Amino acid sequence: MKSLEDLKKLRDEALKKMDVRHVKNGFRIQIGMGTCGIASGARNILKVFIEETSVQSLKNVTITQVGCMGECAYEPMAEIIDEDGQSFVYCNLTEAIVKEIVQKHLMDKEPIQRHLLSQRKG
C-alpha cells in the first residue's frame, strides 16, 4: 500500500463485486423466471441485464427475479419499476432489446413504447 489513492482504487474495485448487496432506491428490474420464462430464455435475459448495467456502470439499479408473471405467451418478460413506482412491462425480450432498454429507458429515461406489453396486446 503506497498511498490513500491506491487504497481508494482498491476500494472501488472491491465495491463492484459487492454491488448486489447494496440497498438501492433507483430502477428495479424484475424478470419473470417461472418455468415459462426459463423455457423461453429468461436466464439469458437476466444475464444480459446484469452485464449491460455493469458495462454502463449504472449503480442504482436492482435486478432481481420473480415467479411467473401471468402472460406466459409473451415471455421472456421484465417489469421495470422506476423511481416513482411506475411500472413498465416489457415482453418478448431479446438480447438486442435488453441493450436498447438499458440505453433508452434506464439511461435516457425514455420508455420504449413498441416493446411494452400494453402496446403489443393492443
Partner 1 sequence: MLERIHVLICGGTGCLSSHAKDIKKQFEIELEVLGLKDEVGLIMTGCFGLCEKGPVVILYPDETFYAHVTPKDVKDICEEHILKGRIVDRLTITNPLNKTQVKNINQLVFYAKQKRIALRNCGAIDPMNIYEYIAKDGYQALGHVLMNMTPQEVVDEVTRSGLRGRGGGGFPTGKKWQFTKNTVSSQKYVICNADEGDPGAFMDRAILEGDPHSVLEAMAICGYAIGSNQGYIYVRAEYPVAVERLEIAINQARELGLLGNNLFESSFSFDIDIRLGAGAFVCGEETALIQSIEGGRGMPRLKPPFPAIKGLWGYPTNVNNVETFANVPVIFLKGATWFKSIGTEKSSGTKVFALGGKIVNTGLVEVPMGTTLREVIFDIGGGIPNKRKFKAVQTGGPSGGCITEKDLDTKIDFENLTALGSMMGSGGMIIMDEDNCMVDVARFYLDFTVDESCGKCTPCREGTKQMLDILNRIVEGYGTMKDIEELEKLAYMVKNTSLCGLGQTAPNPVLSTLKHFKDEYISHVIDKNCKAGVCRELTHFVIEDNCIGCGKCARHCPVNAITGWMKTKHVIDLDACIKCGACKIACPVHAISSQKIEQEVFL
- Positions that interact with partner 1 (CB under 8 A): 1-4, 7-8, 10-11, 13-15, 17-18, 20-21, 23-24, 30-35, 38, 46-47, 50-51, 54, 62-67
Judged by beta carbon, residue 9 or residue 121, the one nearer partner 1 is 9
- Closer Cβ to partner 1, 2 or 114, answer by number: 2
Strand-pairing partners, residue 62, are 28
Q: How far apart are CA 91 and CA 76, in angstroms?
A: 6
Strand partners, 78: 31, 90
Pick between residue 6 and residue 110 the one whose CB is nearest to partner 1.
6
Residue pointed to by grid coordinates 435488453: 98
Q: Do the beta carbons of residue 59 and residue 24 sit within 8 Å? A: yes
Nearer to partner 1, 32 or 115 (CB): 32
**In the complex, least distance from residue 23 CB atom to partner 1, rounded to whole angstroms:** 7
CB atoms within 10 A of CB 97: 19
Cβ of residue 109: shortest distance to partner 1, in angstroms? 21
